[in-house]
Structure 1
Amino acid sequence: MACRIIAFDIWGELAHFRRFFTTSSPLTFSFPPPTTVRGIIGAILGLQKNEYIEITNRLSIGIYITSPIRKLRTGLNIIFTKRNDGKFEPTLFKDKKGNDKKNVRTRIQVEFLKDPGYRIFVAGDEKLLDSLLNYLPYHKTEYTVSLGLSECLADFKFTGEFTAEEVEETSEIHSVIPTRKIKNISLSNQIKLAKERIPIYMNAERIVQEYDNIVFETSGKPIKGAFKNVFHIKETGENIHLFTVPSQQMSKRSFEKDAKSG
């Protein structure tokens, strides 16, 4: 089965894709989960917060790490937001704060990715792909693009439009890939593998419907072995996995092109 794929590179100085099991000291995933990528696409197209999930769930997403994974931790000062009676208080007035020391700020440790870079592959809904082609090649967006947090601004570059063919098995994979699609991995070459459990897709109520265990090479090198049911891009020779939302979960709403995109 052949499909149409659009690819773009995205990078920045810092990124933070918060792991779902961390609270007061947030840790980050090593790459943007498909749920985050859908938010990036929504920002490019100018989709509203209450609609982008439902619309972008019609897309399949591939993620290729293009820069080595490097992480750092730093302290952030955030506003102490509890009032004397325990309610929300976002101001900087000490006499309104709820702890004995009347702290205006509190300090937390946050993990960031340093100089991250990724290649994003997008397939699926033809109208959405056509709309992306009105933005990506011209370096246009409706909203500012970031890597997780709004403070982690990102830049991007259109890579191209390609044709991909689904193959039953391949000996090399370039993108991140679920463990269930790995038959075996060759450790003969020098690679650094890691595994993370990430959210795959959310419903319109922003509730995660599926998680999966993902394997990746931390410096972006291809992984050799045996991998099943992936896509081969004819023009570049890359083999990638595409994260696809199950059809029964996908919205049937039609997507009309934004008149401003022309």
Structure 2
Amino acid sequence: MDKVLIFDIWADYAHFKKYYTTTSPLSFSIPPKTTLYGIIGAILGLDKKDYLNYFQKGECRIGIRIKEPIKKTRINLNLINTKTAKMMSRIDNRTQIRTEFLKDAKYRIYFTHKNNDIYSKLKEYLQNHKSVYSISLGLSENLANFEFVGEYNCEKVVNNQEWEELVTVLRVDDDYLTKGDIDFSQTDREYFSDKVALEMKSDREVIDYGQVVFERNGKSIKARPKRYYRVEIGENIVLL
């Protein structure tokens, strides 16, 4: 029986820049797993230069649940060239970029880690609502808050053949499930798919991208994953 830490994180605005955009930055609808590494590292006070050493592939598993409907808006940002600007009060050239933001973003995070020190320290900090560094959802301006939900037992289910209701984002992969293993017949669901970064080396080279499926309003997804986890509070989740 494994244990999982569950906490909510939210902000008025969020922006998780898509890696393939330039002049018109678009945002992922969910925080990529690698972004959550940075958020958890900020809570724990890990140095930004080496925090990824604690989150190498196979060390950490994370589940992501959408808690508020995904709403997107566009805001114009004035960007400046900080290399050529000598005085902030005398900046003549600005570049205005129309940027996509998520409005009223809120997610539930399911966290487990092989390193007991990291796991126990995060549990302590979440329980005491303590964070060494300020946390944000994507950009430093998007300051975020968090709340500890609890620590729960979870049971791993393997070689599954049954249809289940899952509350987290799902990965579409031959090792997890195919699109044929998702029930798209439910008319009250809005499904979306995206490709996000899942694992990153300590030098910030992304070594694993994954196709994920989510329901825009945070409703459960009926699917038949090859493996998933049953949390003792009655939730079925997939850990990425």
Question: Given the alignment, which residue of 101, 109, 115 partners 1:120?
Answer: 109
Q: Which residue of 1 aligns with 2:85?
A: 90
Q: Which residue of 1 aligns with 2:156?
A: 166
One-letter code aligned to 1:178: R
1:218 aligns with 2:208: no
CA distance in 1, matches of 2:151, 2:187: 31
One-letter code aligned to 1:90: A
1:134 aligns with 2:133: no
Q: Is the 8 A contact 1:94 1:104 kept in 2?
A: no
Q: Which residue of 1 aligns with 2:77?
A: 76
Identical-residue share of aligned pairs (%): 40
Gap change, CA 1:49 and 1:19, over 3 Å in 2: same
Gap change, CA 1:16 and 1:93, over 3 Å in 2: closer
Shift of 1:90: 2.7
Q: In the TM superposition, what are the counterparts of 1:197-216 in structure 2 within 5 Å? A: 197-216=195-214
Gap change, CA 1:153 and 1:92, over 3 Å in 2: same
Gap change, CA 1:201 and 1:228, over 3 Å in 2: same
1:184 aligns with 2:182: yes
Q: Is the 8 A contact 1:167 1:230 kept in 2?
A: yes
Unaligned runs of 5+ in 2: none
Q: Is the 8 A contact 2:172 2:211 kept in 1?
A: yes
Question: Given the alignment, which residue of 235, 239, 244 partners 2:236?
Answer: 239
One-letter code aligned to 1:242: L
Shift of 1:60: 1.0
SS of equivalent residue, structure 1 residue 41: helix
Scaled by the length of structure 1, the TM-score of the pair is 0.83
1:23 aligns with 2:26: no
CA distance in 2, matches of 1:93, 1:133: 41
CA offsets 1:204-225 (integer angstroms, 9 cap, x no match): 0001011010000000000113
CA offsets 1:78-132 (integer angstroms, 9 cap, x no match): 1145xxxxxx31335899x9xxxxx421111110000000001111222211001
Unaligned runs of 5+ in 1: 82-87, 98-102, 244-262
Q: CA RMSD in A?
A: 1.7
Q: Is the 8 A contact 2:182 2:221 kept in 1?
A: no
CA distance in 2, matches of 1:8, 1:93: 39
CA distance in 1, matches of 2:213, 2:30: 11
CA distance in 1, matches of 2:125, 2:171: 30
Q: Is the 8 A contact 1:93 1:104 kept in 2?
A: no
Q: Is the 8 A contact 2:66 2:218 kept in 1?
A: yes
